[in-house]
C-alpha cells in the first residue's frame, strides 16, 4: 500500500506528496483538516479550505498526467494558503487551468469557479516542469 509522505517546513507550512490517484483525495482532505484544527483556525476557514483542497487535488488527479501530486498548506499573518503542484503536462490550454463553462445540467466542471468564489485570491504558477495552483483564505 502506498502512503502519503509529509514534511514540515519552518514558518507554518506542511506539505504532503502522494501518487496521482483518486484514493488520496479524502486522505489529503483529512490531513489538511487535522492541521488547520491543530492551528486553531476558525471553523469557517477549515470548511472553506477543505473544499479548496478537494477541488484543487481533484483537478490535479483528473486533468494532469503527473505521477505525483504535492499539496501544501501555509499559515502566515492569519492567511491560509493551499497549493497543489503537479509535474504533468495537463490537458488545459497552455498547461494553465482555466474555469470551464459547463452547461446547466453538467455534473462537473465548476471546480475553479468554486475556488474563485471561496478564496480571497487564487492563481497559477507554471515553471519548466511543474504547475502549482494555489488559493488563499483569511483565517
Average pLDDT of 89-99?
A: 56
pLDDT in the model for residue 96: 61
pLDDT grade, residue 99 (50/70/90)?
A: low
Name the grid cell of 48: 472553506
Instruction: Give the other-Cβ count within 10 Å of 132's Cβ.
Output: 17
> What is the DSSP annotation of 56-105?
HHHHHHHH---SEEEEEEEEETTEEEEEEEE-S--SSGGG--------TT
Distance of alpha carbon 21 from alpha carbon 93, whole angstroms: 22
| Packed helices 43-63 and 111-118: angle between N→C axes, nearest 10 degrees | 150
Identify which has the larger pLDDT, 104 or 10.
Answer: 104
38 burial class (0-12, 13-18, 19+ CB within 10 angstroms)?
Answer: exposed
Mean per-residue pLDDT for 46-62? 92
The confidence band for 101, taking pLDDT boundaries of 50, 70 and 90, is low
pLDDT at 10: 46
On average, the pLDDT of the chain sits at 82
pLDDT at residue 15 greater than cutoff 90: yes
| Contact status, residue 110 vs residue 55, Cβ threshold 8 Å | no
Structure confidence at residue 1 (pLDDT): 40
**Residue 124, SS3?**
strand
Q: How would residue 110 be classed by pLDDT, with cut points 50, 70 and 90?
A: low
Q: Which residue has the cell 499573518?
A: 77
Q: What is the pLDDT of residue 33?
A: 95
Identify the pLDDT of residue 108.
Answer: 55
Residue 41 has pLDDT above 60, yes or no: yes
Amino acid at each position: 500500500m502506498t502512503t502519503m509522505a509529509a514534511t514540515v517546513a519552518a514558518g507554518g507550512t506542511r506539505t504532503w506528496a502522494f501518487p496521482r490517484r483518486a484514493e488520496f483525495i479524502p486522505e489529503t482532505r483529512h490531513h489538511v483538516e487535522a492541521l488547520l484544527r491543530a492551528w486553531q483556525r476558525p471553523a469557517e476557514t477549515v470548511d472553506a479550505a477543505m473544499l479548496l483542497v478537494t477541488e484543487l487535488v481533484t483537478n490535479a488527479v483528473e486533468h494532469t498526467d503527473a505521477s505525483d501530486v504535492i499539496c501544501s498548506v501555509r499559515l502566515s499573518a492569519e492567511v491560509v494558503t493551499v497549493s497543489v503542484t503537479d509535474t504533468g503536462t495537463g490537458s488545459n490550454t497552455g498547461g494553465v487551468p482555466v474555469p470551464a463553462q459547463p452547461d446547466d445540467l453538467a455534473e462537473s466542471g465548476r471546480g475553479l469557479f468554486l475556488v474563485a468564489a471561496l478564496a480571497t485570491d487564487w492563481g497559477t504558477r507554471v515553471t519548466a516542469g511543474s504547475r502549482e495552483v494555489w488559493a488563499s483564505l483569511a483565517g
